[in-house]
Amino acid sequence: MNLLNETIEALREHGKAPEDTTFVSDGQQSATWEGFRVLAETCDYDNGFGAAEINMDLVVVGVGWWLERYEYDGAERWEFKTMPTAPSGRGPLILGSGVNWFLVSPNNPIVALYIALVRNDRCSGVNR
């Protein structure tokens, strides 16, 4: 896989072009698209399973979006991200899933009771 071609394709898939890039960074330094292009066009690597070969801190950044490296079991690729927007709804936040969920809300007596019971069970050695 060629890093430059992969990057251009990832941009294209999300309606972006190299001209939309404001900078590229490795987490320590930043460069223009042109600086990145010069290096990336000669960077051929194996994006299949095994050890990741491209710096996982590498990002390509535009206004309100960025590409970041994603790796699973050595298979690597670009992942497109955008700045999140706040939902219009307001209320308690659900922080967990399934049985162990918590509602985060000021003065929520259910949360206080649940925490007290869990702490009591843990302190008394009761197993559920």
Cross-strand pairs, 71: 76
- Best CA proximity match to 95, nearest among 107, 111, 112, 82: 111
Whether pTM exceeds 0.75:
no
Does residue 76 belong to any structural domain of this protein? yes
Separation between Cα atoms, residue 99 and residue 42, nearest integer Å? 51
The predicted pLDDT at position 123 comes to: 44
Residues spanned by the domain of 106: 93-124
Residues 72, 97: one domain? no
Burial of 33 (0-12, 13-18, 19+ CB in 10 A): buried
Domain assignment present for 87 = no
Provide the pLDDT for residue 86: 86
Q: Report the alpha-carbon distance of residue 2 to residue 65 in Å, rounded.
A: 22
pLDDT at 116: 58
Residue 1 tokens, joined: 């896989």
Give yes or no: residues 114 and 52 share one domain: no
Q: Determine the Cα–Cα distance for residues 102 and 94; give it in Å rounded to an integer.
A: 6
Question: Are residues 115 and 61 located together in one domain of the fold?
Answer: no
Q: What is the pLDDT of residue 127?
A: 44
Name residues of the chain where pLDDT drops below 70. 94, 96-128
Give the pLDDT of residue 122.
43
- H helix runs in 14-72, sequence order: 33-40
The tally of domains found in the chain comes to 2
